[in-house]
Structure 1
Amino acid sequence: MTTAVPGYVPPVSRATFRRTAIAGVALAIVVVAVCVPLGYGLFALFGCVGIALGIINSAFAMGSVVRFSHGSATPSKAKFSGGVLLRLAVITVVAFGCALLVRPYGIAVFGGLAVFQLLATVSSILPLIKEIRQK
């Protein structure tokens, strides 16, 4: 059994997060560049808010896993689950708040979140595909 170093994040996890965050920012720039000239600036803004919420959630999730894995001798599953639920609840409240308070533009927050999740899924599959091709 190997001893984990506190605060250590495997390189593949850091690379996946970095790749996803960069793709999210690049996509946000493209969305702004396309939507603003067409008169959909607020849709672009709220789409970018959704992408930003996805990036923030991903960063906090990675930090939460690191804290859970390097916590005390017996990490608390209840504390970890509570942190996950709190993080997702905050994101949900922000997204619904935008959607309800800034109609119809705020609904784009959900689009941004969905696009970020798609990017995160594709980005996390890339190392697996690369490893399978090497065999």
Structure 2
Amino acid sequence: MLVPRHIDKKSVSYASRTYYGELIEAGVQIYQYNKGMLHAKLMIIDEEIAEVGAANYDMRSFRLNYEVCQVVYSADVARELTEQFERDLTDSVPLGIEDLLQRSQTERIIEQGARLLSPLL
């Protein structure tokens, strides 16, 4: 999973980080992208299907913001997007559980508060 290192909304950054530990423990590799803000979402399925768009997978995005994703059934497109993702990884740093453990108690409290508000962010 590739996430921006610097997010334009601090509240979203705080809320997002509360989920990283669970994801890492489940085997997800998280990388922080250093070259700016990424808002696009990308999913490649079986090297043949690509889903790309701006929508977050929450009710706010689908019902209030009307964000969308496009699904493309093309191995060529899936390959091109995979190659772009791999290039983006070269401008990223891995985030491990040890990084999460280094957060201060104050940060963790703020993050938990933001997590409570995450359905509204």
Normalized against structure 2, the TM-score is what? 0.26
Structure with more of its chain in helix, by fraction: 1
Normalized against structure 1, the TM-score is what? 0.24
Greater C-alpha Rg: 1
